A and B are shown apart, each in its own frame.
Chain A
Amino acid sequence: MTTKNVINITVKVNGKDHTAAVEPRLLLVHFIREVLALTGTHVGCDTTNCGACTILLDGRPVKSCTMFAVQVDGRELSTIEGVAQNGALHPLQESFKEKHGLQCGFCTPGMIMSTYALLQKNPQPTEQDIRWGISGNLCRCTGYQNIVKAVQYAAEKMSAKKETGE
């Protein structure tokens, strides 16, 4: 049984270009974790349910376990490793810490990617907006309430920052 055609892809990940030769069947999540060694993105259920594999594709949250790496040739990805800027935690990351929005932390990268995109689109979400925004991300530990509080707190901090023109 021969390996099917191997394909060269170029992908920008967290602002940096990467080129690799991959089998078409290589899942995007495996490309990110094993080829790029960015292991912050997690494989949870592997059945498109839990969202632990959530990354941003051209700014939109997608489940990387349900895409092939070859599909993102020429596109831009953001993973959890790209959220902190210049060594400083993003307000979302600060808030998850402050408001105890995680216990085991396994769902957290996916939660942060989903809510990062949510806050970009909707900087002042209601509680319902937040819960709807994370409806593709499962958490077995927290019961979600502190995750919601973390996102609300981050939204406050981010709009306060905007007002002071920081």
Chain B
Amino acid sequence: MIPKAFDYCRPTTLPEAISLLQQHGDAAKILSGGQSLIPMMKMRLAQPEYLIDINQIAGLEYIKEDAGYLKIGGLTREADLEASTLIRSKYPLILDTAFSIADPQVRNLATVGGNLAHGDPANDHPATMLALNAEVIATGPNGQRSIPVKAFFVSLFTTALESNEVLTEIRIPIPPAKSGGAYFKLERKVGDFATVGVAAQVTLDGKGSCVQAGIGLTNVGGTPVKAVKAEDFLRGQPLDEANIKQAASLAAQDAHPSSDLRGPAEYKVSMVRELCKRALTKARERANQ
């Protein structure tokens, strides 16, 4: 399949990229990893007139802890997350998520920034970033602004990014001690999009009660879903089996999937409940390590 013809630019600096975005507005799309965008262009579901390839812009690939945050550059490849000793040792939720995305070849190109900016509820990082209460840094002609991830996903394929902004960084508040997270993804086969996915991140106190809980859901609505009812329920409660079960039921109430080739809606809702139980249980296990 062949995309519609387009003009291609490859700016070497961020200001250059932003100026091109200013110039072309909605007629332009950013090319990051391209592993979501190019398949859509090949099916002509996306027909940008201008493609702005940001892959030559230096300084957008990094994974570091700084000033109380884990900071991930927008161009960081999924494969870089997998290889990072920092992610492997301290952020198993993010590692789980990176591993679940597509396959090795796609992960060599796909970027974390793109996974969020594409605005696809079927992508995996959104649920995880919702669970982690992350922020997205958008850089535009007037400088940088921070957008909380929970306000970032507006509708299907639409985020809070303006047409002249580039997603340059994802910032995650470094979880305190006694925190843990996990991502569970149900898929028909390796590499598939999620039938459903659940990301859970918890912080416990000395007695095993939940100080803080974050739960994100993949592919069960027009946008990635933050399971706020479940999160609110868990706060202050002992993170025991009964409460995990209750939280999972509440999370399932926030799931509004469509019936499709991956299964009927009722099945998917059941799977949210099941995966949420597993994710919270695993998160608790990791928090206690």
> Footprint of B on A, CB under 8 Å?
1, 3-5, 7, 23-25, 27, 46-49, 51, 54, 57, 60-63, 65-68, 70-71, 73, 114, 132-133, 135-136
- Beyond A25-B5, A70-B10, 8 extra complex contacts between A and B, CB < 8 Å: A7-B8, A24-B5, A24-B51, A51-B105, A57-B108, A132-B104, A133-B104, A135-B104
What are the residues of chain B within 8 A of A5 when measuring CB–CB? Answer: 7-8
Complex Cα distance, B202 from A76, in Å, reads 44
Q: Would you mind naming 18 contact pairs between A and B with Cβ atoms under 8 Å apart?
A: A5-B7, A24-B7, A24-B51, A25-B4, A25-B5, A48-B102, A49-B191, A51-B103, A51-B105, A62-B108, A62-B109, A66-B38, A67-B109, A70-B53, A71-B31, A71-B53, A114-B105, A133-B104
What are the residues of chain A within 8 A of B86 when measuring CB–CB? Answer: none
Chain B 1-35 per-residue mask, 1 if CB under 8 angstroms from chain A, else 0: 11111111010000000000000000000010011
Complex Cα distance, B51 from A4, in Å, reads 11
Q: Are B6 and A66 interface neighbours, CB within 8 A?
A: no
Work out how many contacts link A and B, with CB atoms closer than 8 A.
83
Query: In angstroms, how far is the closest chain A Cβ from the Cβ of B7?
Result: 5
Contact residues of B between 151 and 173, Cβ < 8 Å to A: none
Contact residues of B between 52 and 93, Cβ < 8 Å to A: 53, 55, 79
What are the residues of chain A within 8 A of B104 when measuring CB–CB? Answer: 61, 114, 132-133, 135-136
What are the residues of chain B within 8 A of A47 when measuring CB–CB? Answer: 39, 42
Closest residue of chain B to A134, judged by CB? Answer: B104
Q: Does B190 contact A (CB under 8 A)?
A: yes
Q: Are B2 and A62 interface neighbours, CB within 8 A?
A: no
Q: Are B7 and A4 interface neighbours, CB within 8 A?
A: yes
Q: Are A48 and B5 interface neighbours, CB within 8 A?
A: no
Q: Does B228 contact A (CB under 8 A)?
A: no
What are the residues of chain A within 8 A of B4 when measuring CB–CB? Answer: 25
Complex Cα distance, B105 from A62, in Å, reads 4
> Footprint of A on B, CB under 8 Å?
1-8, 10, 31, 34-35, 38-39, 41-42, 51, 53, 55, 79, 102-106, 108-109, 190-191
What are the residues of chain A within 8 A of B35 when measuring CB–CB? Answer: 48, 66
Q: Which of A23, A62, A132, A136 contacts B5 (CB 8 A)?
A: A23
Complex Cα distance, B108 from A63, in Å, reads 9
What are the residues of chain B within 8 A of A135 when measuring CB–CB? Answer: 103-104, 190-191
Closest residue of chain A to B108, judged by CB? Answer: A60
Complex Cα distance, B6 from A49, in Å, reads 24
What are the residues of chain A within 8 A of B55 when measuring CB–CB? Answer: 71
Q: Which of B3, B39, B79 contacts A48 (CB 8 A)?
A: B39
Q: Are A136 and B42 interface neighbours, CB within 8 A?
A: no
What are the residues of chain A within 8 A of B7 when measuring CB–CB? Answer: 4-5, 24
Closest residue of chain A to B43, judged by CB? Answer: A47
Query: In angstroms, how far is the closest chain A Cβ from the Cβ of B225?
Result: 25
Complex Cα distance, B34 from A70, in Å, reads 13
What are the residues of chain B within 8 A of A57 when measuring CB–CB? Answer: 108
Query: In angstroms, how far is the closest chain A Cβ from the Cβ of B246?
Result: 36
Find the residue from B5, B7, B79, B104 having the highest chain A CB count within 10 A: B104
What are the residues of chain B within 8 A of A7 when measuring CB–CB? Answer: 8
Q: Which of B3, B106, B109 contacts A25 (CB 8 A)?
A: B3
What are the residues of chain A within 8 A of B1 when measuring CB–CB? Answer: 46
What are the residues of chain A within 8 A of B8 when measuring CB–CB? Answer: 4-5, 7, 24, 68, 70
